[in-house]
Amino acid sequence: MGNASEIFKFTRLSIIWLCLIFIPVWLVAYAVGIFIPYFLIKDQQNIFFDVFQALVPIIAVLVFIPINAMFMVLFERRGLALFTVRSGPNRVGVDGLLQTAADAVKLLFKEDITPRGADIAMFTLAPITFFAPSVFAAIPLLAAVTNDHPLFHIVNLPTGIFYVLAASSVPVVGIVMGGWASNNKYSLVGGLRSAAQAISYEIPLVLSLVSMCMMAKSLDVVQIANQQAGGILDWNIFGGGALRGIDKFIALNLVGNTIDAKTILDAAYPSGILSYIAAGVLIVCSVIMFLLYLTGACAEINRIPFDLPEAESELVSGYNTEYSGIKFAIFFLAEFTNLFIVSSIAVVMFMGGGGNPIPAWLLDPWWPSFASSVGPMFDLVTAKGLMLVDEHTFFPALWVIAKTYAFVFFAVLIRGTLPRFRIDQLMDFGWKRLIPLSLIVFLVMAFARVLVNVHLVMPAGGAP
């Protein structure tokens, strides 16, 4: 990559967007969740008081998804342009920020063609079947993203990750429907290929997430995200808490409390040297599981190198060959939303959710009482008294978005780098390599976990 100014523009665009994306979502959440109930209705016994507050997650998601997908399309196009040393779309709006909006308006004015002989009902329902699950799947994630904010508490399901997995495997049905209903051979082959790769890569994907649930002993995404709070050593990608004892050992040593530090090491690694070996094994296994998740997720949402359902060079455009106008736009929107959701699952399950990567024992001396120094600032400029914006929600949300975009960037990088699989290679790789590997790694983790105390609680009074 030789073009420094393009890299600078790309970074600037991303940072501008990170700041901008919160504003509409906040405004809407504030209007529906705070302004209308507290200032217009006032009466807390009124049924509409609760109804408006319960509407906040719905409105927030429905505002967030189109705006976010709009940026992701631009992000992908600019990213690919970066990797192929060209400029990418940079004319509409500042640095091309409004390019996708312009494209969406253009698609609205296009003719909506239904091919002759198509199954009209299925042809119309397919984009909806493809899009709706991506909205569903966002539900429990919302609670994790906002760090269990009271307004979003309603969507925190106790079996969150199970629900997310169930919802995120439905879009394949939409693809098969669209492929079959189009009355086009390319679409049919594309739809059926999509089903083939969904059944091959679902198992490694689910097993990798389930192994992380095993380490956390919970299916609740908020709980899993909160367990990883406290820096990069607590993240699930590094052994699902296998390093938690060492993290706390360092923290106590820095305070000067060497007696508690020794007990905490004994509590975390009860079987001596065997436990340390087990912790090392857990770290290796978690990284393997993380890579399995990335592979499975790429296949699940039909990204390159697994984009066989819409392989342009063989199947024209695969399952959406016959789609035009707004139906095509919905397919496109859902595709990018799925990418975002898959990335945010990776963030919540492996990358510490809303936690910052700097370990607490490093951050605290560097910026003492971080939260309490920022809190009063928030009191001044926002509605903290009304519990809409506070530092317990703001920073986690910012971190989740930033980390998620790191994954999206990774997906774009892969798209710019790797060629496409052949279908028999794809099936062989899934069934003969990934599934046995994921089963073995899962079993090894189940055994190694017994030797390490991954749910370590600090001794009373000794916590920094």
Partner 1 sequence: MYQLQLGQIGLFVLVGFALPALGMVLLAWGLQLFLGYHRPSQTKNQPYECGMKPMQAAHVQFDIRYYLYALLFILFDIEIVFIVPWILATDEISQSVGWKWLGPVEMLVFLVILAVGLAYAWKKGALKWE
- Footprint (CB under 8 A) of partner 1, residues 394-413: none
Stretch near partner 1 under the rule CB under 8 A, chosen from 13-21, 84-92, 105-113, 349-357: 105-113
User: Does position 148 bind partner 1 by CB under 8 A?
Assistant: no
Task: Using the minimum distance from each CB to partner 1, give the nearer residue, 252 or 341.
Answer: 341
Give, rounded to a whole angstrom, the gap between the first and last alpha carbons of the chain: 44
User: Does position 203 bind partner 1 by CB under 8 A?
Assistant: yes
Nearest to 56 by CA among 134, 153, 159, 131: 153
b/e string for 385-416 if b means 16 or more Cβ within 10 A? eeebbbbbbbbbbebbbebbbebbbebbeebe
Quote the CA–CA distance of 248 and 455 in Å, as a whole number: 12
Contact between residue 104 and residue 330 where contact means Cβ atoms under 8 Å apart: no
Binder among 32, 219, 288, 397 for partner 1 (CB under 8 A): 219
Task: Give the footprint of partner 1 on residues 307-336 (CB under 8 A).
Answer: 316, 321-322, 325-327, 329-330
Task: Using the minimum distance from each CB to partner 1, give the nearer residue, 9 or 327.
Answer: 327
Task: Using the minimum distance from each CB to partner 1, give the nearer residue, 147 or 200.
Answer: 200
Binder among 94, 439, 457, 464 for partner 1 (CB under 8 A): 439
Nearest to 237 by CA among 264, 265, 208, 276: 208
Contact between residue 373 and residue 14 where contact means Cβ atoms under 8 Å apart: no
Task: Using the minimum distance from each CB to partner 1, give the nearer residue, 87 or 169.
Answer: 169
Binder among 115, 359, 375, 459 for partner 1 (CB under 8 A): 115
User: Does position 286 bind partner 1 by CB under 8 A?
Assistant: no
User: Does position 135 bind partner 1 by CB under 8 A?
Assistant: yes
Rounded to the nearest whole angstrom, what is the least distance from the CB of residue 206 to partner 1 in the complex?
5
Task: Using the minimum distance from each CB to partner 1, give the nearer residue, 226 or 438.
Answer: 438
Instruction: Give the chain's radius of gyration (CA, Å).
Output: 24
Quote the CA–CA distance of 244 and 457 in Å, as a whole number: 9
Task: Using the minimum distance from each CB to partner 1, give the nearer residue, 53 or 344.
Answer: 53
Binder among 67, 101, 154, 287 for partner 1 (CB under 8 A): 154
Binder among 206, 294, 346, 411 for partner 1 (CB under 8 A): 206
Task: Using the minimum distance from each CB to partner 1, give the nearer residue, 48 or 83.
Answer: 48
Describe the crossing of helices 391-417 and 120-145 by its angle, rounded to 10 degrees.
130
Rounded to the nearest whole angstrom, what is the least distance from the CB of residue 17 to partner 1 in the complex?
22
For residue 77, the one-letter residue type is: R
Task: Using the minimum distance from each CB to partner 1, give the nearer residue, 144 or 232.
Answer: 144
Quote the CA–CA distance of 337 and 332 in Å, as a whole number: 9
Binder among 7, 15, 27, 108 for partner 1 (CB under 8 A): 108
305: exposed, middle or buried (C-beta count within 10 Å: 0-12, 13-18, 19+)? middle
Quote the CA–CA distance of 302 and 279 in Å, as a whole number: 34
User: Does position 150 bind partner 1 by CB under 8 A?
Assistant: yes
Binder among 22, 38, 49, 162 for partner 1 (CB under 8 A): 162
Quote the CA–CA distance of 357 and 363 in Å, as a whole number: 10
Binder among 210, 267, 284, 363 for partner 1 (CB under 8 A): 210
Task: Give the footprint of partner 1 on residues 335-354 (CB under 8 A).
Answer: none
